[in-house]
Each structure stands twice: as C-alpha cells, then as structure tokens.
Amino acid sequence: MTKHEPESADELLDAVGPAFGKLRRSSLLEVDNPISQKDLGRTLVLNIVLEAEQRGTGEVTVGAVAEHLGVDPSVASRMVSDCISAGHLVRAASQQDGRRTVLHLSPEGEELMARFRRHQRSAFEQITADWPQQERVEFARLMLKYVAAQEALRRGATA
C-alpha cells in the first residue's frame, strides 16, 4: 500500500493537526544523553519557570503553571511538587508579596533544562539530517513564528 502524500493546499493544511498530534505523542529520538520519560514530563513545568526567568516577566506561581498548561490547579500543584521532590525546583517567598510562594529553578533544574535543550537540538539535527541547510533554517524560523503567534493568541485570550 502506498502512503498518500498531501498535494493540495487544503490537504496539506488538513494534515497539520494530525502531524502535531504525532509529535506530541512521540518522545524525542534516542540521541546522546537521552532524557527519561519522567524528566521529559518535568520539563513542561521547568520550561515555564525558565522562560519567565529569562524574559524577566515576573514571578511564577503554581497558579501561573496551571494557567499556562491549561490544567486544574491541583494537577499543576502535583506537577510542581514532583519537580521540587526531584530537586529541580525550589519554592521561595515572593519579593512582591511575601504571602505568595514563587518557583525558581534549582541548579539541578538548570542543568536538566540545558541537557534537554541540547537533546532537542540533537534530535532536530538527526531528524532533518538529509534536509538542505536552507530548509532546516527556514523550518526553524517558521516554527518559532508559529509558536510566537500561538503565545500571542493565548495571552490575548487571558487578557
């Protein structure tokens, strides 16, 4: 049986959703220094904290994690507690409101995220190894543009 490749613009656009679904369901390829399934899940939370710290966009609370991931606060609380138990996150008093608890990456969390980013880069390079360099760079540019547009929509929906 021959696999049908989308040809028309409509077929290509219809195929995007299922393609993203396949990406979400698959773990990254086995590349150097693989990330465990458990740590792969933890990177969802750690990435929210890391990006907020890098952008200087304020303090991250469990509530912010829940909102960003679109999950119930109790689910986010369990995810955060798991990251704390694993030594990747630490709780601290808010500098803006001492009654609030905020999250920061521990040195171990910073190392996991650095390793995860290296792993992602390695997987991208392995997956696209036979692509022309121009296509690899263009795909990366368009993916970043897509993610930025998605973030803008999300911020608009919560504003």
When the pLDDT of each residue in the chain is averaged and rounded to a whole number, the result is 86
pTM recorded for the entire structure: 0.79
Predicted local confidence at residue 39, as pLDDT: 85
d(CA 125, CA 71): 32
At which residue do the structure tokens 């200087």 appear?
Answer: 56
Whether 103 shows a pLDDT value over 80: the answer reads yes
Predicted local confidence at residue 89, as pLDDT: 97
- The one-character DSSP state at 94 is -
Residue 138 token pair: 């263009």
Element at 103 (helix H, strand E)? strand 101-105
Predicted local confidence at residue 4, as pLDDT: 60
Residue 29 token pair: 């390829």
- The one-character DSSP state at 96 is S
| Phi, psi values for residue 34, rounded to 5° | -65, 155
